[in-house]
Amino acid sequence: MRALVTGGCGFIGSNLSAALISGGHKVVIADDLSGARKDFVNFLKENEEIEFLPACFSSDAVLEKILNKEIDVVFHNAAIPRVSYSVEQPFETTEVNIGRTVKLLETCRNNVKRFIFASSSSVYGGADIMPTPNNHLKSPKSPYAWQKSSIEDIIKIFVSLYDLDAVCLRYFNVFGPGQFGDSAYSTAVSAWCNAIKHDLPLRSDGTGEQTRDMCYIDNVVQANLKAAAYNNRLIGQCLNVACGDRTSNNEILAFMKARYPKIKIINAPSRPGDVMHTQADISETENIISYAPTVRFWEGLERTLAWWNLND
């Protein structure tokens, strides 16, 4: 397989790219480095087989490769992420996350075998059914969630109009090694690990009773590989990628406090656009692409703490 991974120097994209290389596939990464891992240079050196295009995913250099039929499967992970940033910058994030993605899709029609889109559980909004099935009504609560939802919708239109097969993978709260936590928009686990590492207080948003279906990075990589290898058409389906259970922020913070007694926890207001609970029904993902989460939250947390050298 000849794969294009957009955002391939980011947290999810780099893990996926490394797995593709290990599987003997040819990998082209397109990344403008705006959201790259801090150690992306080392990552590329360790994976010299990767062809790296330091450019936006909708740039001419990237689109030419698709037009020349040098790519079989596109793994589209690039985006301006984070709910809170999209609330602050709705125009900028819409222009990139929707406008440029449609340009990429337009080029992919008739030219690639499959388009795999990194969607998000945020499209559900505050779902009233737990676990949430993939056919649950969407109700995005932020520009970011709406952007992901809109791309899902247009992918279904493209699949019906053009020679293009696609699937939308709805990621639930991905975490793991390689995810840095020193940004205001960092996810909770990475931010807390970073705080412990640097003797900073851990921030607890809202009541701390919010729960998340935490999905370790290896599970996300597995879902992408299985979606790429699926023999039949996926016709723009939306599939949940998660573990099917949930853990509260307070549970995680209590664990951290017991493990690292010297840490301090400070309270902060809830983040705008955040929902209270997420939990995925993954039965359709299991049935269609034979996905099965191999690393559950607490094991994944231990692996993540080890990556941060925090297990001592």
Question: What is the DSSP secondary-structure string of 226-260?
Answer: HHHH-SS--TTEEEEES-S--EEHHHHHHHHHHHS
Q: Report the pLDDT value the prediction gives residue 38, as an integer from 0 to 100.
A: 85
Phi, psi (deg, nearest 5) at residue 119: -95, -165
> What whole-number distance in Å separates Cα of residue 238 and Cα of residue 119?
8
Mean pLDDT of the chain: 95
CB 263 within 8 A of CB 193: no
Q: Report the pLDDT value the prediction gives residue 288, as an integer from 0 to 100.
A: 98
Average pLDDT over residues 126-148: 95
Of 43-47, 179-183, 223-227, 236-240, the least confident: 179-183
State yes or no: pLDDT of 270 exceeds 90. no
Average pLDDT over residues 144-149: 97
Q: Report the pLDDT value the prediction gives residue 311, as an integer from 0 to 100.
A: 74
- Which residue, 148, 59, 28, 158, is CA-closest to 105? 158
Which has the higher per-residue pLDDT, 181 or 111? 111
CB 114 within 8 A of CB 165: yes
Q: Report the pLDDT value the prediction gives residue 84, as an integer from 0 to 100.
A: 85
Q: Report the pLDDT value the prediction gives residue 185, as an integer from 0 to 100.
A: 62
pLDDT interval class at 90 (50, 70, 90): very high
Residue 176's Cα: distance from chain center in Å? 11
Place of tokens 């949940």: 240
State yes or no: pLDDT of 272 exceeds 90. no
Q: Which CATH architecture has domain 2-175+216-244+279-294?
A: 3-Layer(aba) Sandwich (3.40)
Which residues have C-beta within 8 Å of that of residue 137, sequence separation ≥ 6? none
In tens, the pLDDT along 43-84 reads 999 999 999 999 999 999 999 999 999 999 999 999 998 888
State yes or no: pLDDT of 115 exceeds 90. yes
Q: Report the pLDDT value the prediction gives residue 131, as an integer from 0 to 100.
A: 97
In tens, the pLDDT along 237-262 reads 999 999 999 999 999 999 999 999 99
Stated length of the chain: 312
Please confirm whether the linkage preceding 131 is cis (ω < 30° from 0): yes
pLDDT interval class at 271 (50, 70, 90): confident
Average pLDDT over residues 108-114: 97
State yes or no: pLDDT of 101 exceeds 70. yes
Residue 121's Cα: distance from chain center in Å? 10
State yes or no: pLDDT of 190 exceeds 70. yes
